[in-house]
Amino acid sequence: MILPGSQKDDAVSPVIGTIFLVALTIVLIGIVGAAMMAYGLPEPAPIAGISIGSQGNTTTVTQMNGAVLPAGSYTILVDGVDKTAAFGGNVEFGPGITLSWDSGSEAVGTVSVVYTSDKGVSTLLAEKNIGKAGSGGGDDSGGGGGSDGFEDTHTILHRFEWQTFLDEVNASTSGIFLGEGIVYVDDGEYWVSIDNKRVSKADAATNPSIQTYVDKTADNRLLKIDLSKKIFTASDMDPTDFSQPWKSTPYPTVGSLYEYDSTLYICKSKGDVTSDSKISRDPSSRDWVDIADIK
């Protein structure tokens, strides 16, 4: 027997249950959302192309391209020991910057560069096994000055061994950028990158010399430092007025060297040795790239 009103009561119960489930779902979503906001989303690690190399007792860490890493956000480890201060790593680490450490008689195994976010999350940016024994021996010439003694009279601002760079390219996924203003040393020759061009794994596969690479790729963004040619100085123009012309021919063109205020620059713009109007006298202009300090 069906009592009056019982069908109505039965219909209300499922509705109340549905409302309760919806309310419970909303509350749970709110709790989860609040928890996520409290913890925050993970901060992505910066993208930076970092190359690690060595020459004799000197270990170098160079950023080729990518994000600028603030001082204190990165750590340079040697076999797990923090050597950031020894590398001079108390500065912003951006493209074109080289940090170096003279290990002396210490052994150098694995060198790592680690980035740590504000939330304490650490990310490995670069790592390389140097494999230097701790005998205190080895070549401590620091790369030498080559046949022209360039490093006897100049301190290179950003120096990198070409073969070490090729090793990094071959170990990469698709190649590494040259950077701008980096001096690459190859068998006693010094070449300057004047444009941030990418060197592909195919170009580096045979470990070519810089001269072979330039000839093969017709790359005019690596310029050879030639001290046998004229080096322009303040005596070639009016140092008090950069608007004044160069005093005499030949005038600067691409690859020309310019000594000004104890710094050596190389011209990256295509000028005309017979025309004065092409290249600026101001070394801070876009025509020039600083490459070394004069000792």
**CA distances, 274 to each of 71, 190, 260, 270 (Å):** 47, 27, 22, 12
Q: According to the model, what pLDDT value does residue 33 have?
A: 64
Q: Check residue 71 and give its pLDDT.
A: 92
CA proximity to 102, closest of 72, 141, 70, 146: 141
Calculate ∠ Cα 61-66-54, nearest 5°: 15
Q: Which residue has the tokens 């910057």?
A: 97
- Dihedral (C-alpha) 173, 178, 182, 185: value to the nearest 10 degrees? 70
- pLDDT averaged per 10 residues, the chain (length 295): 50 65 72 61 77 84 90 91 90 91 83 89 86 50 47 88 90 88 89 89 89 83 88 86 82 90 92 76 92 91
Domains and CATH numbers, the chain: 48-132 (2.60.40.10), 150-224 (no CATH), 229-295 (no CATH)
Q: Which two tokens stand for residue 295?
A: 């000792």
Q: Which pLDDT does position 39 carry in this prediction?
A: 54
Which of these, 290, 269, 265, 268, lies nearest to 278 by C-alpha position? 269
Six-digit token string for 158:
């950003």
pLDDT at 11 (0 to 100): 52
pLDDT for 41 equals: 55
Q: What is the model's pLDDT at position 7?
A: 52
Report which of 266, 247, 268 is spatially closest to residue 258, judged by C-alpha positions.
Answer: 266
DSSP letter assigned to residue 105: T
